[in-house]
Structure 1
Amino acid sequence: MKKLIVFAHQHQESFNRAILDQVESSLREKGQEVIVRDLYKTNFQPVLKPEDTDSMKVGKIPEDIKIEQDFISESDVIIFIYPIWWSNMPAILKGYLDRVFSFGFAYTMGDQGAVPLLKGKKGLIINTYGASEEQYESIGMNRAFKTTMDVGVFGFTGIEPVDHLLFGSVTTVDDLARKEMLGKVRETLNKHF
């Protein structure tokens, strides 16, 4: 089975890129097949347009959405790596969720409400932000980030969230602290996959 990494950071020299490299190399060292979807490199078009939803209503999935949905369908694990900006994910990733995690693919509606369609998959989220972890923990932001993605996206669609790593102060800590963060990423991957 495949591990799908959805990556959303525009800078090649970012710490998020170092996290991506660590995740990819750790999984490949274990002999696992890894697919990376770098949303900026692929120039993913994030705006959900009326023609997208009109096409999907009649069973015609736009090609760029179908490509991403196929990657998800073929994967047993989905890993999101992205920074937190203005207390949220980058717009390109929000647009990915809007367009790709669509009705009829990621969920449907039944007599009792929403029915998840991505059961049997596991999910991991890795976030970075500039504020300190202590600051975000004290005001409830870390809990909010986890609720939004682990419950609101993964749980809603049936993906089992196995972990959610949050790394603060990434713009101000030293290289030793960043190496420790990458070590935690490696430990998390070894624990779950």
Structure 2
Amino acid sequence: MKHLIVYAHPRPRSFNRAIVDTVAESKRKEGHEVVVRDLYEIGFQPALGSTEMLGGVEEDVSLEQSYVSWADHVTFIYPLWWMGMPAVLKGYVDRVFSYGFAHKYVDGVQTGLLKGKTAALIHTQNKSQEEYEASGMEQSMRLTIDKGIFEYCGFEVTRHFVFDSILSSTAEERKNWFAMRSH
């Protein structure tokens, strides 16, 4: 299987990066081809340009679309900031999942063009999962991100892992999280 990992975190030695490395190593051991696109490392420009609003595709977007086209499965790894993705990842979605590539209208009906591909989301957050669930924010986030973006474009979202209470977690707890998630 061809596995693309799209990663968005500005610190190269973050817990998020440890997640990327663990997922990539695990998939390679399973015999999968893996490509990691670190949006900060590659300097991905998240701002949608005026020519792109009119249907143009810039070279950097064309490259990223080639990786998405190549992949059977895409994993998105990011921290949750302000109940959403970091700006660089949202900009990736805005620019790469463009009309005509990821979705279009056919006879007035929206159609996801990335059907047949699966996606997983892994995000970290500082609040506990219980706090997000009690406030209704967890449901809202899954509606806007999982369904409103990825399923809208045709992906089958197979999993959405959450690593919560990151700032208060210990190194031992994080190690145990990896052990539990790898099964």
Per the normalisation by structure 2, the TM-score is: 0.95
CA shift for structure 1 position 112: 4.0
2:95 corresponds to 1:93: no
SS in 2 for 1:65: helix
* Partner residue of 1:128 out of 124, 131, 134: 124
CA shift for structure 1 position 172: 0.8
Contact 1:142–1:166 (CA<8 Å) still a contact in 2? no
Q: 1:31 to 1:70 in 2, by over 3 A?
A: same
Q: Which residue of 2 aligns with 1:51?
A: 51
- What 5-or-longer segments of structure 1 have no aligned partner? 188-193
Counterpart Cα distance in 2 of 1:94 and 1:87: 12
Q: Which residue of 2 aligns with 1:116?
A: 112
Cα displacement string for residues 21-76 of structure 1 (whole angstroms, at most 9, x for unaligned residues): 110110011111000000000000000010223352xxxx2110000000000100
Counterpart Cα distance in 2 of 1:55 and 1:137: 39
- What 5-or-longer segments of structure 2 have no aligned partner? none
Counterpart Cα distance in 2 of 1:180 and 1:134: 19
Query: Which amino acid in the other structure matches residue 152 of structure 1?
Result: G
Q: Give aligned-pair identity as a percent.
A: 44
Counterpart Cα distance in 1 of 2:23 and 2:142: 20
Query: Which amino acid in the other structure matches residue 126 of structure 1?
Result: I
* Partner residue of 1:78 out of 74, 77, 102: 74
Per the normalisation by structure 1, the TM-score is: 0.91
Query: Which amino acid in the other structure matches residue 175 of structure 2?
Result: K
SS in 1 for 2:85: coil
Q: Which residue of 1 aligns with 2:19?
A: 19
SS in 1 for 2:47: coil
Query: Which amino acid in the other structure matches residue 16 of structure 1?
Result: N
SS in 1 for 2:95: helix
Counterpart Cα distance in 1 of 2:15 and 2:135: 24
Q: Which residue of 2 aligns with 1:156?
A: 152
Structure 1 ranges of 4+ moved more than 4 A: none
Q: Which residue of 2 aligns with 1:138?
A: 134
Superposition RMSD on alpha carbons, in Å? 1.2
